[in-house]
């Protein structure tokens, strides 16, 4: 772990796969504890066994083949797949102390993922009307490489982002990913970049300060 990360946040990294339902339960408990002032904020990097998660806007017709467990996630957004080879970041921050600007938080979260992808030579961007992180696939078309889904309770954020390092991309065909059928899904491995989860985590943590600064700027704060 990097020594200069702020101590008011717990920075947790998992090397094994954690079941989605267990993590969701722990997030909900931690959300309440942070809001009550009984626990530190949390950034949690991990991986799940295969699972489809449904956000609050998920449509019935978007679940095409429920070959894996399907879990109501309670986050914003629609259906998403999580599984081996995908790095997940759950970000639980107290926005009541960070400007109470949810839009700014989501924008900063997207920027954090995009800055990390750039470290590995991947240009990525936001797309109007399409949630997530987008890049150019091997055939030149636009494709999603990262997903964003958040929930805010008691002004404490939950859920976060996922980035496709080297998942089985065929698993995404069981759903309409994020309700967008006209664009594909890609990964770093498909783009020819082999990357261990540990290397991704280290790069993300390198940009963590910038991410927190982006949120703080919403309320005129700095780290100075």
DSSP assignment of 141-174: SEEEEEEEEEEEETTEEEEEEEEESS--GGGGGG
Q: Per-residue confidence of the chain (224 residues) as pLDDT tens digits?
A: 555 899 999 999 999 999 999 999 999 999 999 999 999 999 999 999 999 999 988 888 999 999 999 999 988 888 999 999 999 999 999 999 999 999 999 999 999 999 999 999 999 999 998 889 999 999 999 999 999 999 999 999 999 999 999 999 999 999 988 777 778 999 999 999 999 999 999 999 999 999 999 998 744 433 22
- Which of 108, 145, 178, 215 is flagged as catalytic? 178
Closest to 131 measured CA to CA, from 155, 106, 166, 151: 106
The pLDDT score that the predictor gives to residue 50 is 98
The pLDDT score that the predictor gives to residue 77 is 86
Fold adopted by 9-219: BirA Bifunctional Protein; domain 2 (3.30.930)
Which class for 111: exposed (0-12), middle (13-18), buried (19 or more C-beta within 10 A)?
middle
Residue 219 is a catalytic residue? no
Q: Do the Cβ atoms of 157 and 165 come closer than 8 Å? A: no
The pLDDT score that the predictor gives to residue 178 is 74
- Give Cα 190 distance to the centre of its chain: 20
The pLDDT score that the predictor gives to residue 223 is 28
The pLDDT score that the predictor gives to residue 220 is 41
The pLDDT score that the predictor gives to residue 156 is 98
The pLDDT score that the predictor gives to residue 224 is 25
The pLDDT score that the predictor gives to residue 96 is 96
The pLDDT score that the predictor gives to residue 3 is 52
Count CB neighbours of 101 within 10 A. 15
């Amino acid at each position: 772990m990097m020594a200069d990360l702020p101590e008011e946040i717990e920075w947790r990294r998992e090397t094994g796969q954690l079941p989605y339902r267990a993590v969701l339960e722990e997030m909900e408990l931690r959300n309440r504890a942070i809001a009550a002032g009984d626990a530190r904020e949390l950034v949690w990097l991990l991986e799940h066994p295969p699972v489809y998660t449904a956000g609050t806007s998920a449509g019935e017709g978007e679940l095409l083949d429920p070959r894996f467990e399907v879990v109501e996630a309670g986050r914003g957004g629609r259906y998403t797949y999580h599984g081996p080879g995908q790095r997940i970041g759950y970000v639980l921050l107290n926005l009541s102390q960070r400007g109470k600007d949810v839009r700014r938080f989501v924008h900063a979260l997207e920027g954090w993922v995009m800055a990390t992808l750039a470290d590995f030579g991947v240009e990525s961007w936001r797309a109007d009307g399409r949630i997530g992180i987008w890049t150019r696939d091997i055939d030149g078309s636009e494709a999603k490489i990262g997903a964003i889904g958040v929930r805010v309770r008691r002004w404490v954020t939950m859920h976060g982002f996922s980035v496709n390092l080297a998942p089985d991309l065929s698993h995404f065909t069981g759903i309409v990913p994020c309700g967008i059928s006209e664009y594909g899904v890609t990964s770093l491995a498909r783009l020819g970049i082999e990357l261990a989860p540990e290397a991704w985590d280290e790069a993300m943590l390198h940009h963590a300060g910038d991410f927190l600064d982006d949120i703080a700027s919403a309320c005129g704060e700095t780290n100075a």
